[in-house]
Amino acid sequence: MDLGLAGKKALITGASRGIGRAIAGVFAAEGCALALASRDRSALEAAAAELRAAHPGIAITIHPADLSRTADQEALARACPEIDILVNNAGANPPGTLAEIDDATWRAAWDLKMFGFINLTRACYAGMAARRSGVIINIIGAAGERLNAQYILGSTGNAGLMAFTRALGSASPADGVRVVGINPGLTATERATMLVESWSRAAFGTPDRWQELPQVKTLPFGRMAAAREVADLAAFLASERAGYISGTIVTIDGGAANRH
């Protein structure tokens, strides 16, 4: 399906691996020019090389940046002044209970994901509003709606980003901008492996028994989501085929968030 994204400019954070890398691949296939950001220069260079080989002629720039730092957020926005699509994806909240997560961990995680999303959105939104065109997609996480005290930092932060997305997306159409969110459930990435291993460690004292966990054994359709499935949804939401969608968050978890 041609989504009409050819020639659009997309900035994707956390783009060197996992969901961000999958989104970059789908957007490149749709003909988007890409600006890829993450902390890891070598991983970005490898991702860009793979994308250029698979999609000759697509313009790709890389932007190594620590998006927990306000200066880096602002510098990234200046380096990409006329983007059509912003995908906020950088950040991974560590698992743990209230007693286990200390103050420094809360602040470091939220500097990257919570304030990284908010500050980069602020920095890019003004230009989009001036052009009266743009789409902001926040890749958040289903823990914000299926709250989990064992993942209290992630649940709390994701719930806040869901509120941010809905609030801004309710007003942004007045500026010609759409703001939407995606809440992936467990998705087959390195991050998911780390998370289920932490659950296994909490339940069994070892990281390698996660296949025995009830929440894994009962996954919808017997599997995690594929990163490509999240990426395909992001491409649709970025397109004019989703032109009347704003302030909405789509959950892609096989229905798990609604289980009791």
Start-to-end Cα distance in the chain: 36
Integer Cα distance of 90 and 231 in angstroms: 14
What is the pLDDT, as a whole number, of residue 85? 98
Q: Annotated catalytic residue: which of 106, 110, 117, 151?
A: 151
What is the pLDDT, as a whole number, of residue 260? 65
| All domains of the chain in start order, with CATH | 9-186+225-253 (3.40.50.720), 189-223 (no CATH)
Integer Cα distance of 242 and 141 in angstroms: 21
Q: Which residues of the chain fall below pLDDT 50?
A: none
Task: From residue 25, give the alpha-carbon distance in Å to each of 11, 135, 199.
Answer: 13, 18, 30
Three-state secondary structure of 187-251: ECCHHHHHHHHHHHHHHHCCHHHHHHCHHHHCCHHHCCECHHHHHHHHHHHHCHHHCCCCCCEEE
What is the pLDDT, as a whole number, of residue 188? 84
Global confidence as pTM? 0.92
151 among known catalytic residues: yes
Residues pairing with 184 in the sheet: 252
What is the pLDDT, as a whole number, of residue 65? 96
What ranges in 3-145 are assigned the alpha helix state H? 18-29, 41-54, 70-79, 103-112, 114-131
